[in-house]
Amino acid sequence: MIKPHGAAKLTPLYVDNDEKRASLLKEAETLPKLLVNSATAANAVMLGAGYFTPLAGYMNKADAISVANNMHTSSGLFWPTPVLNLCKDVSKISGHKRIALLDPNVDGNPVIAIQTIDDIEELSQDELDLITEKVYATKDVDHPGVATFTSLGNYVVSGPIEVLNYSYFETEFPGTFRTAVQIRAEIEERGWKKTVAFQTRNPMHRAHEELCKMAKESTNADGVLIHMLLGQLKPGDIPAPVRDAAIRKMVELYFPPNTVMITGYGFDMLYAGPREAVLHAVFRQNCGCTHFIIGRDHAGVGDYYGAFDAQTIFDDQVPDDALEIEIFNADHTAYSKKLDKVVMMRDAPDHSKEDFVLLSGTKVREMLAAGEDLPMEFARPEVAKILMEHYQNS
């Protein structure tokens, strides 16, 4: 199986020993408390679950700036986006070595992790602007990722963490949330030598379904990991439980048995386009996948990125030896009326736009909200039904 990124084996930071976890929770009662933001909590979940192997905790300012500038930490580890505990007020934790991090996304704000503080540093506005510009390729606050990042605060609290739970992900998505450790174990148990991963924050329509099948066939993979984001999204995106139900129905009816793993991970969407595509590749390698699908406008939003910037970054900025996972570059995929099947548009140069069944996201939402059936060429009827019920009840 493919090796984890930067390590011989996964380095999950979740404390799975019951006795030690109980001891840490008792210690947390005596420690200064920091109510973290959702982004910091999501980073803790990803660190705990092994997705961010080989990181041992939150980055310091030097590492964050280095990663923003050249996708390497100060020590030379390849990493595409800063992993930070950013906050606005450090008055309650200054001078302390260990602190309890409180989860903002669960009622009662339980302790999600204990952090040993290496340093507390302040980012200047220029440094904050630099990180924003490098990671998101824009400082426009209308960009949802930029809006979130620039609202988190400018104090960097760095140091290793011990993760005590997986926030709401394990309880709200018990059948879907999986750690990198669990996914790697299941791939091994299934005997898959090659696994192609598909990232999604949306329901999967016919084009996505066929793209997974094309990638599996092209790479000669044993199976597909459909890996959905379960964390915070921008307003208007479809909630995770609805996406989960729609994807499960699609796989049940339209994929051969035992060729797909449906899983999810606990992270908040960055909408960072190319940089986030590279981050996605890192944690799919940590899951044990050998190939990763990068499609049109992967992890993008609005018109902030070029259609295929998330592919070209791997050629232009990612060193050849940085990652072991291989990228499957996909074009925009749509149903061809001429060929009566889903194709990648680059493979149909004789087609005009009118030869494809193309619907904008806005048009799809309008049709579903109005109770109108989506074209069968665009969406499986069983999937469309689940989405229609969501839109008519919301």
Q: What is the pLDDT of residues 383-392, one digit of tens each?
A: 999 999 998 8
Q: Which two tokens stand for residue 98?
A: 């260990």
With a cut of 80, say whether residue 2 has pLDDT above it.
Answer: yes
Q: Is 288 left (phi over 0), alpha (psi -120 to 50) or beta?
A: left
Q: What is the percent of the chain with per-residue pLDDT over 70, rounded to a whole number?
A: 100
pTM of the entire predicted model:
0.96
Whose structure tokens read 């009840």? Answer: 393
pLDDT category at 39 given cuts 50, 70, 90 is very high
Contacts of 120 (CB under 8 A, 6+ apart): 90, 93, 94, 155, 156, 157, 158
Listed residue (263, 328, 339) closest to 294, CA to CA: 328
**Predicted local distance difference test score (pLDDT) of residue 238:** 86
With a cut of 80, say whether residue 394 has pLDDT above it.
Answer: no
pLDDT tens, position by position, 268-319:
999 999 999 999 999 999 999 999 999 999 999 999 999 999 999 999 999 9
Read off the pLDDT of each residue in 19-30 and give the average, rounded to a whole number. 98
E strands in the chain: 33-35, 57-58, 86-87, 98-102, 111-116, 119-122, 155-163, 195-200, 223-229, 260-265, 291-294, 326-329, 333-336, 341-344, 356-357
CATH assignment of 176-393?
3.40.50.620
Cα separation, 233 vs 243, whole angstroms: 13
With a cut of 80, say whether residue 120 has pLDDT above it.
Answer: yes
Q: From the CA atom positions of the chain, what is the Rg in Å?
A: 21
Backbone angles phi, psi at 72, to 5 degrees: -140, 145
Catalytic residue numbers, as ranges: 201-202
Q: Give yes or no on whether 18-170 and 176-393 have one common fold.
A: no
With a cut of 90, say whether residue 63 has pLDDT above it.
Answer: yes
Angle at 85 between CA 285 and CA 73, to 5 degrees: 50
pLDDT tens, position by position, 213-263:
999 999 999 999 999 999 988 887 888 999 999 999 999 999 999 999 999
Question: Where do the structural domains in the chain lie, given as residue ranges?
Answer: 18-170, 176-393
* In contact, 32 and 71? CB cutoff 8 Å: no
**Predicted local distance difference test score (pLDDT) of residue 309:** 97
Listed residue (279, 295, 296) closest to 71, CA to CA: 279
Listed residue (23, 33, 31, 51) closest to 281, CA to CA: 51
31: how many CB neighbours lie within 10 A of its CB?
18
Cα separation, 178 vs 170, whole angstroms: 8
Q: Is 247 left (phi over 0), alpha (psi -120 to 50) or beta?
A: alpha
**Predicted local distance difference test score (pLDDT) of residue 264:** 97
CATH superfamily placement of domain 18-170: Sulfate adenylyltransferase (3.10.400.10)
Listed residue (101, 105, 236, 100) closest to 170, CA to CA: 105
